[in-house]
Amino acid sequence: MSRKKIFSPQKILLTIGLLSGLGLAGCAGSPTWFEPASSNAALITHLGTIIFGIAIAVFVIVESLLIFSVVRFSRKRDGEPAQIEGNTRFEIAWTAAPALILVVVFFLSLQTLTRVAYSPATDPAGAPASANALHVRVVGHQWWWEFDYPDQNIVTANELHVPVNTVVNFDLESVDVIHSFWVPQLAGKTDVIPGHVNHAWFQASQTGTFHGQCAEFCGTEHALMRFDVVVQTSDQFQAWVTQQQAPVATMTGAAAQGEQLFLNGACIACHTINGTKAQGKVGPNLTHLASRSLFAGASFDNNAANLKRWLSDPPAMKPGTQMPNLHLSQSDIDALVAFLTSLK
């Protein structure tokens, strides 16, 4: 009985193609560090590219030698090769080569980490000193992000606005479990730990919307603990600040009815709306909810249809969410949505 051909160029290429396809499928539509939009991210991308290149070179060399050995010393040819056990020169070489590669990677990584965390002129948080630096307090919750601008007296959720070419200093905290703050195109990962304040910073070099994600498994809805970073021009950012600082508009009609339902029902136990008696701290601040493009951990588009679905049964849309099903009537849901969509 003839033996099947185990290795062939077609099988090798097919295997490489399948593995590459699986890797690319996992990255499709996701935030990527291959397109840096800040000085920090550019340094990280440069380091990652170098290390990836080294890894590819090692892979090609090792796999080429492996395939050569399988083909060259198959049973159909010369059989078992000469043994080199105890060859001091070979053993020193294959021990020293990986060690040298690791030393190179270590020093490259150390250089990048130092430049990212400790710039020549730094403040106590480890970010470049700047008279115009923006300070943001980031609080991780299961499963959404709170952004507090103490100098501007603004608190929002899941959508971080920052001006371009401006240093942004972050104080990172958690109210429950360990999370990780990560915006691949703007900065590396920084853990968000209960009872401890970590610090991070970045300086975006271009405008646009960049996607962030919790990078530390934190429970049921970890994958839906997302956020957006909206990088704007200075004028656009100041306009956003002015909008966020404005008081809530006077409600009329169905929106006024929804406001009364909100202020006299269970909603005020968890949510804050500035200028009203709603001062809950458990859920997101909803003062200008309608100005945000996403809600519920940046999981859903912020529109009337999704808000109605959410108020009908939050756990059905996002299992594990801390917001319970309040069993609201359809008329109450319609009134609340009219109110929430008026909070611009």
Q: What pLDDT, on a 0 to 100 scale, did the predictor assign at position 75?
A: 66
Contact 215, 306 (CB under 8 A): no
Q: What pLDDT, on a 0 to 100 scale, did the predictor assign at position 157?
A: 94
Q: What pLDDT, on a 0 to 100 scale, did the predictor assign at position 193?
A: 96
Looking at per-residue confidence, does 101 or 75 come out higher?
A: 101
> What architecture does CATH give domain 29-117?
Orthogonal Bundle (1.10)
Q: What is the mean pLDDT of residues 312-329?
A: 91
Over the stretch 174-196, which tens digit does the pLDDT of each residue have? 999 999 999 999 988 999 999 99
pLDDT at 313 over 50: yes
Rounded to an integer, what distance in angstroms lies between the CA atom of residue 195 and that of residue 158? 22
Q: What pLDDT, on a 0 to 100 scale, did the predictor assign at position 117?
A: 80
Where in the chain are the domains? Answer: 29-117, 253-340
Phi, psi dihedral angles at 329 (to 5 degrees):
-75, 160
Rounded to an integer, what distance in angstroms lies between the CA atom of residue 147 and that of residue 150? 10
Q: What pLDDT, on a 0 to 100 scale, did the predictor assign at position 24?
A: 43
Q: What is the pTM for the complete model shown?
A: 0.79
Looking at per-residue confidence, does 120 or 219 come out higher?
A: 219
- Beta-sheet strands, E only, within the chain: 134-141, 144-149, 154-157, 159-163, 167-174, 179-183, 187-192, 198-203, 208-214, 226-232, 294-295, 300-301
Rounded to an integer, what distance in angstroms lies between the CA atom of residue 70 and that of residue 215? 41
Query: What confidence category does residue 100 fall into, taking pLDDT thresholds of 50, 70 and 90?
Result: very high
Percent of the chain topping pLDDT 90: 57
Highest mean pLDDT among 82-96, 226-240, 242-256, 313-327: 226-240
Q: What pLDDT, on a 0 to 100 scale, did the predictor assign at position 196?
A: 95
Which range, of 73-87, 152-166, 202-216, averages the lowest pLDDT?
A: 73-87
298 - beta bridge partners?
Answer: none
Query: What confidence category does residue 74 fall into, taking pLDDT thresholds of 50, 70 and 90?
Result: confident
Over the stretch 268-309, which tens digit does the pLDDT of each residue have? 889 999 988 989 889 999 999 999 999 998 889 999 999 999
Q: Could you write out the DSSP letters of every residue in 236-255?
A: HHHHHHHHHHSPPPPP-HHH
Q: What angle do CA 275, 277, 281 make, to 5 degrees?
A: 95
Q: Which homologous superfamily is 253-340 in?
A: Cupredoxins -  blue copper proteins (2.60.40.420)
Q: What pLDDT, on a 0 to 100 scale, did the predictor assign at position 79?
A: 61
Which range, of 46-60, 119-133, 169-183, 220-234, averages the lowest pLDDT?
A: 119-133
Looking at per-residue confidence, does 229 or 34 come out higher?
A: 229
Q: Is 29 helix (H, G, I), strand (E, B) or coil?
A: coil
